[in-house]
Every structure is written in C-alpha cells, then in structure tokens.
Amino acid sequence: MAKSQKQPIAIHTDGACIGNPGPGGWAAQISQGKRVKVFKGGQAEATNNQMELLAAIKALEALKRPLAVTVFTDSEYVQKGISGWIENWKANGWRTSGRKPVKNVELWKRLDSLCQIHDVAWRWVKGHAGNKGNERVDKLAYLEAKRFMEAA
C-alpha cells in the first residue's frame, strides 16, 4: 500500500455549479509542509455532486506514487459515499438500498480504484467556516464554473 512520508499530505477539494445542473467547476489543493499544488477544471454541464467527486479524483490522480493522504471535503455526499455507502453499492451491483442504480457510478468507480492505490483518510469540514484550504478551493471551483458559464 502506501509508503511512509516525512510530512503528512493534505488534500482539500471542492466542486461548484452555477445552477444544478449547470456550468460546473472543481478545484483541489495538495499540501505537504510548505509545498502546495493546485489543480482545477470544469465543464459546461455538470451537477455539483459530479464536480465534488471530480475534484477528489483529479487530486488523487495527480499523486505520482502510492501515498497516505487526508482528503478534506465539505461534501457529505463524497465523504459518506466513499467511507461507507460504497461497500453496499458494490455488494449490490452498484445499486442503492432502494435497488436504484447509483448516480455518478463511473465517477464512484474511478474514486474507488484510486482509494485502492492510496491510503486515504476522509475528513468532512464545514464549508464557509474559515478553513483556509476549503475556502481557497471553494473560490477556485466557483471561478472555474463561472469561466464555463461565460464561455457558453
């Protein structure tokens, strides 16, 4: 699994949509000590949940080797989904407890495969509550959504 590293790695993620669905943006910040890298993107038509998932996926995909990381998200959908619901979804053939297909299943599968590579701890943080990492990616995700809205 993940090799040990000298300093902990923190990843802050966020997604945003202008309308839901609508133009969407995502952003992720990977921090290790004083080193910080930011990733961002978006698309013309998305849901907020898709952008939240994509932020986490893109951050984990950016890691060059298996690592232990803590992902901070203000999305209960992402945190609860990957930390708990996903095991039942997989056992039920990617169906919910109500026997309906899981929404965003391809994104969930991508995220799940990345969690098999990395040792990931998931932490929910309250949005708009002064967490510097969360505040930064929130702003960047919104600006990405706005960029895609203006391009339409």
Cα–Cα distances in angstroms (integers) from residue 95 to residues 42, 60, 102, in the given order: 27, 25, 5
pTM of the model as a whole:
0.94
Q: At what angle do helices 48-62 and 105-117 cross, to 10 degrees?
A: 30
Q: Annotated active-site positions, please?
A: 14-15, 52, 74, 128, 138
Give the model's pLDDT for residue 4.
53
What per-residue confidence (pLDDT) applies to 38? 98
Q: Residues, the chain, total?
A: 152
Residue ranges per domain, the chain? Answer: 9-151
**40 three-state secondary structure:** strand
> For the chain, how big is the Rg over CA atoms in Å?
15
The predicted pLDDT at position 1 comes to 47
Q: What is the pLDDT of residue 84?
A: 94
User: 9-151, what's its fold?
Assistant: Nucleotidyltransferase; domain 5 (3.30.420)
> Across-strand partners of 123?
72
Structure tokens at 82: 């990957």
Using 70 as the pLDDT threshold, list the residues of the chain that sit under it.
1-5, 152
Sign of the C-alpha dihedral, residues 124, 121, 106, 52? positive
With residue 56 as reference, give the H or E element that holds it.
helix 48-62
